[in-house]
Structures are given as C-alpha cells and as structure tokens.
Amino acid sequence: MERDQAELLAIRALGHIAADEDLLGDFLALSGLAPDELRARAGDADFLGGVLDYMLADEARLLAFCEAEEVKPQWPAAARRALPGGEEVHWA
C-alpha cells in the first residue's frame, strides 16, 4: 500500500473513532490528547500511524471499522506498515 492510500485509510479510521462517543473517549484517554489537539494532528502521518495502532489493538474494534467502512480486514495493517514507524510493527 502506498503512503497516501495509508493516510487516507487512517483518516477514515479517525472519522470512525470520532463518530462513536465511546471510542472517541477511549482514544482520547489513551492518547492523552484533547479534542482540539486531535483535529490539529489529523494530517500528521506519525499521528495517523497511532490511529491505526489503536484500531489494530482490538480485533472487535478493527472488524467493526472494516465492516462500517467496507474495507478488507488486512488493509489497516498494510496501511500501518506504510506509515512512519510501521516497518517496526508486526501486525498479523
């Protein structure tokens, strides 16, 4: 997967998180970010890698995202590998 495609998928994941109050609260708590910081960092490739890390950390969350966005379950892991720090991540 190319980096621009990976960034777009991560932005979709961020939108999925933002649309769900429970997911958003959990993500903000884990990341330590405030909502305004989230918006400011939405275009940062390093941050987007973290968004995908969050999605990939929980299979149910990942599958819910994939179903809602109609993407194959292996795409988020492929996208993560295409973003900064992804070469060090070994998602199945």
- Please say if the pLDDT value at position 83 is more than 70: yes
Angle at Cα 52 formed by Cα 77 and Cα 87, nearest 5°?
Answer: 55
pLDDT digits (tens, 9 = 90+) for 17-39: 999 999 999 999 999 999 889 88
Joined tokens for residue 16: 């999925």
**Cα(38)–Cα(27) distance, integer angstroms:** 10
Joined tokens for residue 36: 């305004």
User: What pTM value is reported for the model?
Assistant: 0.89
| Residue 69 pLDDT level (bands cut at 50, 70, 90) | very high
**Cα(46)–Cα(61) distance, integer angstroms:** 21
**Cα(38)–Cα(23) distance, integer angstroms:** 13
> 38 by DSSP, 3-state: which?
helix
**Cα(12)–Cα(18) distance, integer angstroms:** 10
